[in-house]
Structure 1
Amino acid sequence: MDDSTACAEPAPERALQPKAEKEPDAGRGRLAQVIATRGGRAAPEAPFVIEHREALLYMLAQAAELEHGIMCQYLFAAFSLKQHADEGLTDTELAATTRWRRKISHVATQEMLHLTLVQNLMTAIGGAPHLARPNLPNPAGHYPAGVTLALLPFGEQALQHFMFLERPEGMALDDAEGLAAVRRAAPAMMQTGDIVPRLQDFATVGHLYRSIEEGFTNLAAKLGEQSLFIGPPRAQATAANFRWPELIAVTDLGTACLAIEEILEQGEGPRGDWREAHFGQFVAILDELQQLTAANPAFDPVRPVLVANVRPCEHASDVPLITDPVAGRCADLFNVSYEILLLTLERYFAHTEETDAQLATLTDLSMGLMFRAIKPLGDLITTLPAGPDHPGRTAGPSFELFYESDYLIPHREAAWSMLAERLVEAAEFCERIRDDAGGP
């Protein structure tokens, strides 16, 4: 199909996962009404130039890193919320924190879906999967001037930051106080005829994806779809294994555009009503938080979580360190479980001779790690002391990556052996933590 208008066609109806639970007034509260009536949106910015495969892969890698980092931000905020009445919450307040935690966790799960869709887009045109990202907070200059990512406990600052990241294209909205990215000159735009890709100064996540969509359309017209989509269809992540009905296998221009449309509709809602998108969910949560705080100024929905690493951040010397030995080891176990999750996903996306049963094992392992290791460890760490250097504060999951290279293990037998070895090491480390802490 060499129709350059393919991306503009409406997406056919697809079975969707149940949406996150929506309160009767979700997206319809006072704050939502203010945002909806304060002047509409500016015209979308022109897409930047993508005229060869390498530039398209480069920007898809940027999209993958953004989705990955944003997912970590949402999980950290969800882990930081109080979960029990004995943490100083009334029944109404506990119901609210439980609801917020569930909604934010659901949004984080959809960010993982977006990350998976980006991997499908990359492999469809012959690229390798990309699950690496910088440790948070991201290094200055790694993203465009208006984008910064950092771990934040739940609260007004975090919600305003999330709204800024998810805002629809053309909507004027400032980032949260204290989180404005370092302002610098915009990078030089790619020009027609350039052969080397470079970072582009996209204004919003929607602007990035719309430019990527334009790149797919232009390259399909320039090269022909058969020459553009050279990746093996069997390398695509599918709903059959991941159990996401929205997960689209990308094999041509039409499915590439459907994948991008799915990301845009769930995240920013620029082509529909933002009240139902991630942006609207965060607006509704912030509205409800402000109402509950007005009713009870002493309301504190968050554990005293300190954003801290186990080891010094290589590009941010001001990030504090966890000094409690048990909390530090639990944070290490969290990060190792997260590392194994990335190794498992990378093997799935770059698989070679695996059978269908083995691919199902990889996806089952990745989901098991997320919900049976990473989630309970994240809950636990936010109850543990950060250490004597931080009295009254608890630790938090740091999502630290131990090296900047990607997580590809290219040879099948070696990959499976290394995954099994790392799982055994993690289990043994878990037992040592239990024994040292005197646990059951």
Structure 2
Amino acid sequence: MLKISPKFVNAVINAEKLEDLFPLLQNAIELEHATIPPYLTALFSFKPNTETAIRSVIHSIVIEEMLHMSIAANILNALGGEPHISNPNFVPDYPTHLPMGISKGLIVGIEKYSPDLVKNVFMEIEEPEDPLDLSKSFKANALPTFRTIGEFYQAIQQKIEEIAPEILPGDPKRQVTSNFFDSNLLYPIHTKEDAINAINIIIEQGEGTSTSPVDEEGEIAHYYRFQELYLRKKLVIDPNAPHGYSYSGPAIPFDANNVQPMFPNTKSHMLPEGSEERRQVDIFNNSYSDLLNGLHRTFNGEPDYINNTIGVMFDLRLTCQKLAETPFPGKEGYTIGPTYEFITTA
């Protein structure tokens, strides 16, 4: 689970009124979003019709990060706040530290898929407070000086229980649902109990439980799914293992030749003005900005606009895949990576 500066947990603990939680939940929305471009880029860096097993794992995690971002926005709305999504400050300038002071030594960039990226970045992002040692061959390093985003969400739960009324004060019409997500996972948050249960979804999907790598629904938490990719073995039920699971399932094959040679941390200014390559990057950035603008509208009073944003997501994928197949001018042997730069429109 994402490791953050302790000051954010302390700020929740010291909150005296619901309004004190508004900027903290905004931080959480920004952090949930910040993981999505790196994960998406790794997903889209594969050549067409290859590495289906790895794609499936990363795709499932991306969808859940989108869900977590949506839940956090619904909670902020339910408490009476307003999510802010469509502005340049919402978008990290990759490569960068992630929001909320996440793991000071961790720099997250926009890169093609590799086992090292999974181990050194993705697993570092998703590491639980106390990762279960399910494999004798690999265990990520702990960073004890940081708190996890799970602890942050638990503090939000406790503070809502402590100071919020049973019926939350936000406008119910601002709550967002979508057929894109299971209605048991993304649902309107009207009460204190709704908010607490929704936060449990985020925590368990991210890091499992303290005694198991799976959540209450039997779904493997993000950290352990990424560890599957690093070890190239499926995590399966194993009655003889200490926690009931081991990486003794079917092999997950990987061929590095199936990854596009995408240039890391591409920026639009690297492409010649007026070139077709620059035009494609601009198309990508416009689609990305349209997506954020659409999400802002969705979570600020137009919940039905979520259907428009889903269409933009597919456009973004197609543009990204086209970039990944396009040679990078002046950088022999590389193709163009997505840039995730916010375009402000008048």
**Which TM-score applies when normalising by structure 1?**
0.61
Pairwise mapping of residues 18-417 of structure 1 onto structure 2 (< 5 A)? 47-48=9-10, 49-51=13-15, 52-84=17-49, 94=50, 97-131=51-85, 132=87, 133-137=90-94, 142-144=99-101, 146=103, 148-160=107-119, 161-171=121-131, 173-174=140-141, 203-220=147-164, 224-226=165-167, 229-239=168-178, 242-245=180-183, 246-270=185-209, 273-274=212-213, 276-288=220-232, 299-311=256-268, 321-323=270-272, 325-351=275-301, 359-360=303-304, 362-371=305-314, 373-388=315-330, 390-402=331-343
CA distance 1:140–1:368, change in 2 (3 Å): closer
CA distance 1:122–1:401, change in 2 (3 Å): same
**Which TM-score applies when normalising by structure 2?**
0.77
Check whether the contact 1:305–1:394 (CA below 8 A) recurs between aligned residues: yes
Any gaps of 5 or more consecutive residues in structure 2?
1-5, 132-138, 215-219, 234-246
Distance in 1 (alpha carbons) for counterparts of 2:99 and 2:7: 21
| TM-superposed deviation, 1:80 | 0.9
| TM-superposed deviation, 1:330 | 1.1
| TM-superposed deviation, 1:323 | 4.2
CA distance 1:79–1:67, change in 2 (3 Å): same
Check whether the contact 1:50–1:56 (CA below 8 A) recurs between aligned residues: no
Per-residue CA deviation, residues 404-427 of structure 1 (Å, 9 max, x unaligned), is xxx9xxxxxxxxxx9xxxxxxxxx
CA distance 1:270–1:304, change in 2 (3 Å): same
Larger radius of gyration: 1
Check whether the contact 2:229–2:252 (CA below 8 A) recurs between aligned residues: no
Among all aligned residue pairs of Structure 1 and Structure 2, give the percentage whose two residues are the same amino acid: 28
CA distance 1:349–1:46, change in 2 (3 Å): closer
Distance in 2 (alpha carbons) for counterparts of 1:209 and 1:202: 14
| TM-superposed deviation, 1:204 | 2.0
Per-residue CA deviation, residues 371-392 of structure 1 (Å, 9 max, x unaligned), is 2x1111111110001211x111
Per-residue CA deviation, residues 190-230 of structure 1 (Å, 9 max, x unaligned), is xxxxxxxxxxx95222122222222222222xxx334xx21
Distance in 2 (alpha carbons) for counterparts of 1:80 and 1:215: 41
SS of alignment partner, residue 309 of structure 2: helix
Amino acid at match of 1:115: M
Distance in 1 (alpha carbons) for counterparts of 2:28 and 2:57: 23
| TM-superposed deviation, 1:297 | 11
Give structure 1 regions of 4+ aligned residues with deviation exceeding 4 angstroms: 44-47, 138-142, 294-299
SS of alignment partner, residue 286 of structure 1: helix
Any gaps of 5 or more consecutive residues in structure 1?
1-43, 85-93, 181-200, 313-320, 408-417, 419-440
Larger mean Cα displacement after TM superposition, 122-131 or 323-332: 323-332
Check whether the contact 1:154–1:302 (CA below 8 A) recurs between aligned residues: yes
Aligned pair count reads: 302
Check whether the contact 1:202–1:208 (CA below 8 A) recurs between aligned residues: no
Structure 1 counterpart of 2:241? none
Structure 2 counterpart of 1:192? none
SS of alignment partner, residue 247 of structure 1: coil
Check whether the contact 1:238–1:249 (CA below 8 A) recurs between aligned residues: yes
Structure 2 counterpart of 1:189? none
Amino acid at match of 2:140: L
SS of alignment partner, residue 237 of structure 1: coil
CA distance 1:326–1:56, change in 2 (3 Å): same
| TM-superposed deviation, 1:174 | 3.5
Distance in 2 (alpha carbons) for counterparts of 1:256 and 1:379: 37
Distance in 1 (alpha carbons) for counterparts of 2:99 and 2:32: 14
CA RMSD of aligned residues (A): 3.3
Distance in 1 (alpha carbons) for counterparts of 2:252 and 2:153: 41
| TM-superposed deviation, 1:299 | 4.3
CA distance 1:297–1:242, change in 2 (3 Å): closer
Check whether the contact 2:44–2:321 (CA below 8 A) recurs between aligned residues: yes
Distance in 2 (alpha carbons) for counterparts of 1:127 and 1:248: 18
Amino acid at match of 1:144: G
| TM-superposed deviation, 1:137 | 2.1
Distance in 1 (alpha carbons) for counterparts of 2:63 and 2:24: 22
Check whether the contact 1:307–1:398 (CA below 8 A) recurs between aligned residues: no
